[in-house]
């Protein structure tokens, strides 16, 4: 496709190219003597042209005010997409009822705790992918996940821990293929229920956690309630989501 229609849309207004490709400047005598230079007129790019390029390497802009003051673990750069592999958990009403009891109790120790908007179990750390790596990365993940069976897990994974280690092992192999950081050594898999800005471990450890555990233990049908049926693995890269169903 000819680039001529796009010449007038350069980010620099000081230089343009003539039809034969040579650079010309206003007033340099490139027009014929005795003739006034034709006025320049900029036309909007047609939608049909814009729609030919729906993809972009520009990741979503970061605004910490939109997510409670949380700060990225690495700075946002154009073309870099924060990427995370995880197992989603679709919370049922009974689980949310339990959380409605747990969170207010925990907030008596740490008032700034905020309930999670969605729940998941991580299979990777957050890593940075270039835009053109996203699809090859996801395709490699799908190939690794294809042989895995569905399974049940608990709120803190004790039953099913070995299966999760197998999943992480395959995710790590994909990370290594793309020269990315692998998951933690000897990981403890868990669902995050709430978060806060800053380190609140001292306030939560000990008495608070013992009281929260007692609430869970005394909750009706807690053992069944806190079992999760794992059907898929997901990968989030920037604002894109990819699902990999388990057998």
Catalytic residues: 120, 190
Rounded Cα distance, 188 and 172, in Å: 16
Token pair in block for residue 3? 């680039």
CA 148, distance to chain mean position in Å, is 23
Count Cβ atoms below 10 Å from residue 121 Cβ, excluding itself: 23
Using alpha carbons only, what angle is made at residue 116 by residues 153 and 244, rounded to the nearest 5 degrees?
50
3 state DSSP class of 85: strand
Facing residues of 230 across strands? 151
What residues have CB less than 8 Å from 214, skipping those under 6 apart?
none
Instruction: Report d(CA 182, CA 171) in Å as an integer.
Output: 8
Angle at 228 between CA 225 and CA 232, to 5 degrees: 155
Q: How far is CA 189 from the centre of its chain?
A: 19
């Amino acid at each position: 496709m000819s680039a001529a229609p796009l010449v007038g849309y350069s980010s620099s207004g000081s230089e343009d190219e003539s039809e034969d490709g040579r650079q010309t400047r206003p007033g340099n005598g490139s027009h014929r003597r005795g003739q006034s230079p034709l006025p320049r007129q900029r036309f909007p790019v047609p939608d049909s042209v814009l729609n030919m390029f729906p993809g972009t390497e520009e990741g979503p802009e970061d605004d910490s005010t939109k997510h409670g003051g949380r700060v990225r673990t690495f700075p946002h750069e154009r073309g870099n997409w924060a990427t995370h592999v995880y197992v989603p958990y679709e919370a049922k009403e009974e689980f949310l009822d339990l959380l409605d009891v747990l969170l207010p109790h925990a907030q008596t120790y740490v008032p700034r705790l905020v309930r999670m908007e969605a729940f998941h179990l991580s299979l990777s750390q957050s890593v940075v992918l270039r835009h053109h790596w996203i699809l090859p990365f996801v395709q490699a993940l799908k190939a690794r996940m294809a042989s895995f069976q569905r399974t049940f897990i608990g709120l803190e994974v004790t039953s099913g821990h070995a299966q999760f280690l197998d999943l992480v092992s395959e995710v790590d192999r994909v990370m290594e293929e793309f020269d990315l950081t692998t998951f933690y050594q000897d990981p403890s898999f868990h669902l995050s229920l709430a978060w806060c800005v800053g380190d609140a471990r001292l306030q939560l450890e000990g008495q608070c956690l013992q009281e929260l555990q007692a609430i869970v233990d005394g909750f009706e049908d807690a053992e069944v309630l806190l079992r999760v049926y794992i059907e898929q693995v997901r990968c989030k890269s920037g604002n894109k989501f990819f699902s990999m169903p388990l057998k």
